[in-house]
A and B are shown apart, each in its own frame.
Chain A
Amino acid sequence: MSVFSDVPQAAPVAVFKLSQDFNNDQFPKKVNLGVGAYRTDEGQPWVLPVVKNVEKIIVHDDRLNHEYLPILGLPEFRSSASKIALGDESPAIQENRVGAVQCLGGTGALKMGAEFLRRFYNGNNNTKTPVYVSAPTWENHNAVFANAGFEDIRSYKYWDAEKRGLDFAGFLGDLESCPQHSIFVLHACAHNPTGTDPTHEQWKQIAEIMMKRNLFVFFDSAYQGFASGCLDKDAWAVRYFVSMDFEMLCAQSFSKNFGLYNERVGNLTVVARDADNLKRILSQMEMIVRTTWSNPPSQGARIVAITLNSTELFTEWKDNVKTMADRVLLMRAQLKAKLQALGTPGTWDHITEQIGMFSFTGLNPKQVEYMVKEKHVYLMSSGRINMCGLTTNNIDYVAESIHEAVTKCTCQDFTTQS
């Protein structure tokens, strides 16, 4: 008789199951538009040239060893990573009220932030504080906050399926009507999965209401640089909120913009009211880190820190990032052009209006099923595609497949606009 005989089989994580199915598929023209990782035009993973250079530096530096990092991580990583988000000239940094916790990827940074908020925000251990995530959002957001103990996770209106854009009025409505002190998880740029970001004017309005209603700002920044190709542009929203004097958290991931997916490089930037608050916050963060992973892994953070702290390497990195962003923009333009040329019903402007790695195509579940089963083009049931999965070799096939799916599977969800 086993103590674990009653453990039920859990459902697999959807995005990884999709990749698995893709891998098992023997169809020669199969295309993987699922998991969010960059691919070259040859459909291959890409280790950034700057990363290769820095790894060589590390391997040949005899002074470097594998000793434990401090609990909060590599100091030069934490500070340079926060600078990337907030800007070199950030007054908040100059006022010594910005700190950071090196974490295991963006997930780890969200986790640390969530755990801290559950313990100390809005009272002590107030698990009833509502946490708002966008509808839709990255599928792991919910689990991160739920696992941290929050009992009330809700969604705020975000994606308007009919007009295939931001439901701004709905978003503002939720901001106005939610309980005070609610926590809001905001995507800094390149919203996952919709690729649809608020404009600057819209961000200003969002900030105004959040300040007025004492809502907590928690940014998720997983694509800085990757969205527009420009680091500062992609950080505009985060920096605006900092300038509006919010005390806030920003979870940063370097998985995509450094291509360091499996080294788990993340940073939780903390913007506090003053240095004293910051000190106390970080001391409590240490306690949380110690019971979760003790101290973070060194390799990835080292690569990022060396890069960000060298003028030459930093320039090379920005160049590499632009390469990735530009290829995505090109694929967007081409996909839209091809769909228009095919005369595929509906408008496809959203493909180029959206930004970042993902596009919410607007395909409904039936059409997605057609794509996967009949055409061996793998995408999430939400209709989300990873633009990086497109190449000059497969874009025609994908466009044709979308065309077929749309024309063969007419469904009331798919409205046409001309």
Chain B
Amino acid sequence: MALLKSNKVIYCLGKISPSLGVVSTRNSSWWGGVQMGPPDPILGVSEAYKRDTNPKKMNLGVGAYRDDQASHLVLSCVRKAEAIITAKQMDKEYLAIGGLGEFAKSCAELALGNDNEVLKSGRNITVQTISGTGSLRIGANFLSRFHGPRDVYLPKPSWGNHTPIFRDAGMQLKAYRYYDPSTCGFDFKGALDDISKIPEQSVIMLHACAHNPTGVDPRPEQWKEISDIVKKRNLLVFFDMAYQGFASGDIDRDAWAVRYFIEQGHNILLSQSFAKNMGLYGERVGGFTVVCSDTDEAKRVESQLKILIRPIYSNPPMNGARIAATILNTPDLRSLWLEEVHGMANRIIKMREELVAGLKKEGSTHSWQHVTDQIGMFCFTGLKPEQVERLTKEFSVYMTKDGRISMAGVTSGNVGYLAHGIHAVTK
């Protein structure tokens, strides 16, 4: 009886004074109730790969470019830019909240094209961000504050981190059909159908090129129809462009959809990453752009972005942005970069072709056309979880359970082995 009473007292106290949470004694911990966070699906792949002693093992989980010797590549244009920067002996004063101005400017120009009307009229605001993730996060926070409560529609599937980013920012996620597992291609009809039902003013996330994780991109005619229906439904477009240049090898081609949408009058939000296309992964180089109605709106939006950024990290890191800006604004470095990006994209395309050829040679009767139809770093092989498991166990080929492989981990030295393994588990 007394116990019941005292429980009631504690409960009431808890109500009156919400700050009275868990009572802790000196020897107990504040964090006793903190659970172990779930292991990262991709890191788990890399960890298992590291432990494997098979000399023929392959890590196809990694989302970072490798050259044909399977080593990390620092682009020549990056090394050259670094030498230039070092020689300048610049100071380390804080950047503005929105980052390095010349970086933001060239970042926007790269995406939109130098002659874009938006840039000429100054009705965009572009800020430097902590790579693609940081860009998406700022965008999500901005939408949550100024465009809530609206839902965000992601393609099905999408990059795994999109959902927690938007959720953390307080937005709800929904999906539209995108990938067709029966064709390993684009479910165009399903996408249009779903998009046509999205409530007005919702946010729709589009991967500008080299869709992650499927590698499946709409064709230009398909983009046109998507643009039309998005316009009809009055949806707010948020483009995620993490692979400009890396997909087809051509920066303008890869930005086509973004530029088309702007031309069609969509005032888009845009996230850019320079992690892959400049190999600046760990330097955290990215941009976030809001295309506004006019310069006045751009100024107001900019002021609010600063208010959002300041309590997260105050201002962004200099090093990577300085490298990127130097490359983009130094003509011969820029040409060198375009060549190197082209080279990376080409190597990936070649590996796709060799994989398909290898599978044919192995005698596979399946259609592997999707491997060469898909584009960018990732390939959705179509392998089922059991087949993935066998591929890992019997051949030490490490990839994610959804059948996704990073083509960046494939080399001329191991593509034959990969074809052999895939055939073995699918014949």
Which residues of B lie under 8 Å from residue A6 when comparing CB positions?
Answer: 146
Bound form: Cα–Cα A273–B24 in Å: 12
Cβ proximity bits A10-35 to B, threshold 8 Å, 1 near / 0 not: 11110010000000000000000001
Which residues of B lie under 8 Å from residue A55 when comparing CB positions?
Answer: 86
Tell me, yes or no, whether A7 is within 8 Å of chain B by CB.
yes
Cβ proximity bits A21-62 to B, threshold 8 Å, 1 near / 0 not: 000000000000001010000001111000110011001000
Contact B161 A290 (CB under 8 A): yes
Contact B284 A296 (CB under 8 A): yes
Which residues of B lie under 8 Å from residue A211 when comparing CB positions?
Answer: 26
Cβ proximity bits A93-107 to B, threshold 8 Å, 1 near / 0 not: 000000000011101
Which residues of A lie under 8 Å from residue B83 when comparing CB positions?
Answer: 59
Q: How many residues of B contact A (CB 8 A)?
A: 82
Which residues of A lie under 8 Å from residue B292 when comparing CB positions?
Answer: 2, 4
Distance between A8 CB and nearest chain B CB, rounded to angstroms: 6
Which residues of A lie under 8 Å from residue B308 when comparing CB positions?
Answer: 147
Tell me, yes or no, whether B29 is within 8 Å of chain A by CB.
yes
Bound form: Cα–Cα A67–B66 in Å: 11
Contact A299 B317 (CB under 8 A): yes
| B239-289 with Cβ < 8 A to chain A | 267, 275, 279-284
Binds B, one of A277-285, A312-320, A328-336, A338-346: A277-285
Tell me, yes or no, whether B3 is within 8 Å of chain A by CB.
no
Distance between A298 CB and nearest chain B CB, rounded to angstroms: 4
Contact for B312 among A7, A120, A259, A292, CB less than 8 A: A292
Which residues of B lie under 8 Å from residue A144 when comparing CB positions?
Answer: 311
Tell me, yes or no, whether B318 is within 8 Å of chain A by CB.
yes
Which residues of A lie under 8 Å from residue B301 when comparing CB positions?
Answer: 4, 7
Which residues of B lie under 8 Å from residue A68 when comparing CB positions?
Answer: 64, 275, 281-282
Tell me, yes or no, whether B96 is within 8 Å of chain A by CB.
yes
| Secondary structure dominating the interface of B | loop
Contact B92 A67 (CB under 8 A): no
Which residues of B lie under 8 Å from residue A169 when comparing CB positions?
Answer: none
Can you list 30 A-B pairs with a CB-CB distance of less than 8 A?
A2-B292, A3-B267, A4-B290, A4-B297, A7-B304, A8-B304, A9-B300, A66-B78, A66-B280, A105-B313, A107-B314, A128-B19, A130-B19, A179-B17, A262-B92, A262-B315, A262-B317, A263-B92, A263-B319, A264-B313, A264-B314, A274-B29, A280-B35, A281-B34, A293-B130, A294-B133, A297-B130, A297-B319, A299-B317, A300-B319
- Chain B interface (Cβ < 8 Å from any Cβ of A): 17-24, 26, 28-37, 40, 64, 72-74, 78, 82-83, 86, 89, 91-97, 130-134, 137, 146-147, 161, 164-165, 167-168, 201, 236, 267, 275, 279-284, 290, 292-293, 297, 299-301, 303-304, 306-308, 310-320
Known contacts A129-B21, A299-B283; 17 further A-B pairs (Cβ under 8 A): A4-B293, A10-B304, A37-B94, A46-B91, A68-B281, A107-B312, A107-B313, A111-B311, A120-B34, A124-B33, A129-B19, A211-B26, A263-B318, A286-B37, A286-B40, A294-B132, A299-B320
